[in-house]
Amino acid sequence: MASLPLLHHLIPSLPLPTSHTTFNNTSTTTLFFFSKNKPSLTLKCSSTSKLDQEQEQETIEFEAPLSQVWREIQGMNDWKGLIEPTMNPHLRREIIRYGELAQACYDSFDFDPHSKYCGTCKYHPSHFFHKLNLSHSGYSITRYLYATSNINLPNFFQNSNLASVWSPHANWMGYVAVITDKEHVKRLGRRDILIAWRGTVTYLEWIHDLKDILRPAFFSNDQTIKVKRLLNYYKDEEVSITITGHSLGAALAALSAYDIAEVRLNVVDNSERVPVTVFSFAGPRVGNLKFKERCEELGVKVLRVVNVHDVVPTVPGIITNEKFLFQKYIEDALSFPWSYAHVGTEIALDHKESPFVKGNKDLVSAHNLEVHLHLVDGYHGKGKRFSLASKRDIALVNKSCDFLRSEYGVPPHWRQDENKGMVRDGDGRWILPERPRLEAHPPDMAHHLQQVIDNHLPCQPQQEEIM
């Protein structure tokens, strides 16, 4: 942490008032300072007694409400000073919030091979957040997203003969939502458009997902058209576009952000850019160095949350990646097709620092999204003691894995639907109730598709490559 003279040197034109208090054997000095066109910040330096030496000794936090600093939290300055030396409380809460919205994709997905609705979302959009205990989120679903036919699906999807219910070439992968609650709009400081992607159903699916080499990027799909409609509808408001996902969903999130920015969907009045931010969890590399550079040129902000013991973020690109000194030469001169690079800023977490989880080499659990959210809640900065900031329920760790220490008495894989969705009908028979069909496309889809095409950049970027 910067010393007091250094802080005063950085802002020599302003006085540096301080206040000093002592309580519970703890001395605290609070410094107040301001910068032009920025919200006020407060830096707190605490020196504790020997009895409290293991507690946090430094915190840096925005005293201003989120509504005033949301652009910084969304990555306007690439999260400089918000992760290290101490995790910013606003940022931690936002990471967890978006992570929970990504987790909703798993919790709502029907992957029971015995269900006639296998491959679909369990819930109607109007009940989605309520069914997942996320009514407090303030979002409303505006569109469900489905995978295209080039996704490798498990055999139980491909062998299904229930094409009248769902297509093996278009299984449910996520959703588009927008903040509609006025109080949440006020708290966030803007209208947030959210895209959330589901990851792979099982860890082993990565064997199939990662077998492709790089191929040229392409544009325009259903989610970009939906975003265009929402941007037009809220054109007179402050708006942000946030994309989140875990595992394969994190890769799709990065590609979606690139897609939106490349076709200039986020450009308002041909000048102002609507911020496009990705909160990525346990994602793999998805493009080469040129793809990374193009994302940066377009202003796409990506915050990647990873567990250092998770294998997925290390692939593909084990041979040549962003850490390799001569990657640019290999790509430009040799046209090497297996060169990959991560995009954005990384938060590297370590599950062995949590006293609540097993410290074993369980690759499946190390990749689990709820484990990542648990680690974010306890992370305060490199070398700092693990301590749950929001007291997030540790039982969530075992929602779909077996990673909590046995002394906490939480059964593994505990989340399941009551009676697997079966209910009794009027005759007392147990049946799986019918689900209402969803409209395939809104009536004005063609109009907004044409707008996306018309706004496409005339000059394509050179050789951006994706998986």
Residue with tokens 């990027």: 217
- Contact between 355 and 386 under an 8 Å Cβ cutoff? The reply is yes
The pLDDT profile of the chain, 467 residues, written as one tens digit per residue, is 333 333 333 333 333 333 333 333 333 333 333 333 444 443 343 333 343 344 344 344 446 899 999 999 999 999 999 999 999 999 999 999 999 999 999 999 988 878 888 888 999 999 999 999 999 999 999 999 987 544 444 454 444 444 444 444 458 899 999 999 999 999 999 999 999 999 986 444 444 555 555 566 555 566 778 898 999 999 899 999 999 999 999 999 999 999 999 999 999 877 789 999 999 999 999 998 899 999 999 999 999 999 999 999 998 887 777 777 777 777 776 677 778 899 999 999 999 999 999 988 899 999 999 999 999 999 999 999 999 999 999 999 999 999 999 999 999 999 998 888 899 999 999 998 888 776 555 555 555 556 655 655 444 444 444 44
Question: Is 90 in the same domain as 150?
Answer: yes
Tell me the three state secondary structure of residue 348. Answer: strand
Burial 305-318 (b: 16+ CB within 10 A, else e): bbbebbebbeebbe
Q: Which amino acid is at 434?
A: E
Residues 229 and 106 reside in one and the same domain = yes
Same-domain status, 90 and 178: yes
- Quote the pLDDT of residue 156: 44
Closest by CA to 242, choosing from 84, 384, 101, is: 101
427: its two tokens: 């005759």
On whether both 164 and 35 belong to a single domain, the answer is: no
Residue 426 lies inside a defined structural domain of this protein:
yes
Q: How many CA atoms lie within 13 A of 392 on its CB side?
A: 23
Count the domains in the chain: 2
Measured between alpha carbons, how far is 252 from 210 in angstroms, rounded to an integer? 13
Check: CB of residue 253 under 8 Å from CB of residue 243.
Answer: yes
Domain for residue 387, yes or no? no
Q: Which of 37, 88, 92, 102 is nearest to 59 (CA)?
A: 88
Q: How many CB atoms lie within 10 A of CB 41?
A: 17
For residues 103 and 209, state if they share a domain: yes
d(CA 340, CA 328) in angstroms, rounded, equals 11
Q: Give the active site residues.
A: 247, 310, 367
One domain, residues 24 and 172: no
Distance CA 207, CA 84 (A): 34
Report yes or no on 152 lying in a domain.
yes
Q: Which of 39, 62, 85 finishes a domain?
A: 62
Q: Pairing between strand 276-281 and 239-246?
A: parallel
In a domain, 378, yes or no: no
Q: Which helix or strand (DSSP H or E) is residue 453 part of?
A: helix 445-454
Is 178 exposed, middle or buried, given 0-12, 13-18 or 19+ CB atoms closer than 10 A?
buried
Q: How far apart are CA 103 and CA 226, in angstroms?
A: 22
CA distances from 396 to 20, 108, 281 (A): 40, 16, 16
Q: Are residues 185 and 48 in the same domain?
A: no
Residue 369 in any domain: the answer is no
Residues 197, 52, single domain; the answer is no
361/304 Cα distance (integer angstroms): 22
Identify the H or E element spanning 234. none
Contacts of 150 (CB under 8 A, 6+ apart): none
Rounded CA separation 251/342 (Å): 10
Tokens of 399: 């929602």
Q: Which of 31, 62, 93 is the last residue of a domain?
A: 62
CA dist., res. 179 & res. 233, Å (int) = 13
**In-domain check, residue 392:** no
What does the pLDDT read at residue 389?
96
The answer to whether residues 395 and 410 touch, using CB atoms and an 8 Å cutoff, is: yes
Which H or E run contains 183?
helix 182-188
Residue 169: which CATH number? 3.40.50.1820
Dig out the tokens for 76 from the structure.
């306007």
Do 197 and 337 have their domain in common? yes
CA angle 313, 314, 320 (to 5 degrees): 135
Specify the pairing of strand 215-216 against strand 191-197: unpaired
Of 176, 192, 180, 183, which is closest to residue 70 (Cα–Cα)? 192
Asked if residues 295 and 269 have their Cβ atoms less than 8 Å apart, the reply is no
Q: Are residues 44 and 130 in the same domain?
A: no
Task: Say how many C-beta atoms besides its own lie within 10 A of residue 163's C-beta.
Answer: 9
Residue 102: inside a domain, yes or no? Answer: yes
Q: Is the dihedral of CA 197, 133, 122, 158 positive or negative?
A: positive
Tell me, yes or no, whether 257 and 330 share the same domain: yes
Same domain, 30 and 176: no
- The residue segments making up the domain with residue 16 are 4-62
Q: Tell me which of 14, 36, 62 is where a domain ends.
A: 62
